[in-house]
Amino acid sequence: MRRNDNLQTITPEEVKARMTEAFLKAMSERFAPPGELFHEWYVRNARENGWIAKTEDEIIEHIVFGVVVGGNMSVFEILHSALVFHVNAFYGIVFFMQTNFFLFLGVPAAAYLAYSEIRAKTSLEIDDKRRLG
Amino acid sequence: MTTETFSAENNRSHLHYQKVARTEDLILKLKVIAFYAGVVIFWLVVASLYRGFGRNWIIPAVSVMWIAGAITAFVARNNEENTTRETRWVILGFLGFLVLYRAILPFIVPLSSAQMAAALDINIPAVSGEAIAGMLQSVLLLVSVLTPVGFIIWCGQKIRQYHGRRTRQSTFEKTKGVSRGQP
């Protein structure tokens, strides 16, 4: 039996390209009119029927307010997410301050005690190198 | 190492004082800060263990203890270091008791008087099994209320003692005719 050595040297990119080619060929035979490739026919139909943007203004509007093809977020969605995130964060801080009001009195007092103890302990450590001469 | 040098600009200008920031000082400061930060984190952990009771009572009570300690350390300057040290140890002890209590509570509460009687081979009335839950509740309330109250009383006594000592000192000074240089 003859082994196909080419299968072991083929790269993933080549596999992808061949699969795409085969897919487009099959889809073209099934859907597209004769002499036209499937993806060209699909994009022409989409443009004519208004499924995707046609003019430059529509493209910009699409980028700002709509979902950009490819999985990226639009500007509106980014701003909206940022707004929701920050409103939630500030609400969380306010809620924490509301429920732990006494914490904000106790922690500065503890900090003052730490400062006071450090001052009391280190003030005894002065090197008094007195020289008379 | 940073060195500050103070020289007295008077007729005896050869007098020098040196204040040296040494590594031991730095370690001491870091130790103190770490201890206080640890106590504060422990405080929050204990409060979260007690849920509603922690949020509504342990956090305010320990806050009041911190504030009382800080005021005492600020007012009674002669006992500053002592006050700070005792404040943090009292708070740490209080929180330690609460943690231990929270840890052993689930093991004690389900014990019935019949189980206890069987384990110890003695007669225990059934009513005492019901009373033990109330006693545990009372112990928690008493300790968690009386410790901060006692600490505040201790702080007040310390401030009062400081003022008493000052009054006595000034009286002696007046009696002896020692002036502080103030009219």
ipTM passes above 0.85 = no
pLDDT of residue B115: 87
Whether A78 is in a domain gets the answer: yes
- Partner-chain contact B20 A102, CB within 8 Å: no
pLDDT digits (tens, 9 = 90+) for B130-164: 888 888 889 999 999 999 999 999 999 999 999 88
In a domain, A129, yes or no: no
Please tell me the pTM assigned to this model. 0.63
- Cβ burial of B116 (10 Å; 0-12, 13-18, 19+) is middle
Q: Are residues A47 and A3 in the same domain?
A: yes
Counting beta carbons within 10 angstroms of the beta carbon of residue A106, is it exposed (0 to 12), middle (13 to 18) or buried (19 or more)?
A: buried
The predicted pLDDT at position B43 comes to: 96
Largest CA distance in chain A: 112
3-state helix, strand, coil split of chain B in percent (to 5) is 80, 5, 15
In chain B, the largest separation of any two C-alpha atoms, in whole Å, equals 89
Mean pLDDT over the full length of chain A: 79
Give the CB-side neighbour count of residue B91, counting CA atoms within 13 A.
36
Is residue A113 a part of any domain in this protein?
A: yes
With beta carbons under 8 A apart, name residues in chain B contacting A118: 28-29, 32-33
Cβ-contact B42, B95 below 8 angstroms: yes
A109 contact B CB<8A: yes
Selecting from A100, A109, A133 the residue whose C-beta is nearest the C-beta of B59 gives A100
My answer on whether A43 and A79 are in the same domain is no
pLDDT tier for residue A4 given thresholds of 50, 70 and 90: low
Which site among B3, B7, B29, B89 would you substitute to test the A interface, given the most A Cβ atoms closer than 10 Å to its Cβ? B29
Interchain CB distance below 8 Å, A125 and B22: yes
Alpha carbon of B42: minimum distance to chain A alpha carbons (Å) = 12
Q: Quick: pLDDT tens for A41-53.
A: 877 887 777 776 6
Which 8-state DSSP code applies to residue A127? B
Residues A120 and A84 in one domain: yes
Q: Are residues A77 and A112 in the same domain?
A: yes
Count the Cβ atoms, other than its own, within 10 Å of residue B148: 21
Domain around A1: 1-52
Average the pLDDT over A7-20 and give the result: 80
Q: Examine the domain organization and report whether A88 and A48 are in the same domain.
A: no
Q: Is residue A59 part of a domain?
A: no
Range B89-115 average pLDDT = 91
Residue of chain A nearest B14, judged by CA positions? A132
- More confident: A89 or B132: A89
The predicted-structure confidence for A52-84, as pLDDT tens digits, reads as follows: 666 777 767 666 676 554 556 777 888 888 999
Let me know whether A47 and A88 are in one domain: no
**Is A61 a domain residue?**
no
Kind and range of the H or E element at B38? helix B23-49
- Whether A68 is covered by a domain: the verdict is no
CA nearest to A98 within chain B: B55
Would you say residue A95 has pLDDT above 80?
yes
Pair (A47, A87) in one structural domain: no
* Domain co-membership, A44 together with A80: no
Which of A95, A113, A116, A128 to probe by mutation at the B interface, max B CB count within 10 Å?
A: A113
Q: How far is A98 from chain B (nearest CA, A)?
A: 11
Confidence of residue A122 (pLDDT cuts 50, 70, 90): confident
Mark which residues 77-106 of A lie under 8 Å from B by CB.
Answer: 99-100, 102-103, 105-106
| A61–chain B nearest CA distance, Å | 49
**Residue B66: alpha-carbon gap to chain centroid:** 7
Dist CA A64 CA A28 (whole Å): 33
Which pair of tokens denotes residue A23? 């897919």
pLDDT, residue B35, reads 96
Say if A11 falls within a structural domain. Answer: yes
Contact call for residues B26 and A118 (beta carbons, < 8 A):
no
Contact of A1 with chain B, judged by CB distance below 8 Å, is answered with no
Q: Is the pLDDT of residue A129 over 80?
A: no
Residues 6+ positions from A87 with CB-CB distance below 8 Å: none
The alpha-helical segments, DSSP class H, found in A1-133 are 6-9, 12-30, 38-49, 56-65, 75-99, 103-122
Q: From B87, B113, B59, B75, select the one nearest A96 (Cα to Cα).
A: B59
CB pair distance less than 8 Å for B19 and A121: no
A-interface mutation test, from B14, B28, B31, B66, most A Cβ less than 10 A away: B66
| B87 contact residues in A (CB cutoff 8 A) | 113
In chain A, the number of structural domains is: 2
First vs last C-alpha separation in chain B: 44
What values do phi and psi take at B3, rounded to 5?
-130, 125
Q: Does residue A114 belong to any structural domain of this protein?
A: yes
By Cβ distance, the residue of A102, A110, A133 closest to B59 is A102
Test mutation, A95, A104, A117, A127, chain B, max B CBs within 10 A? A117
- CB–CB of B129/B113 below 8 Å? yes
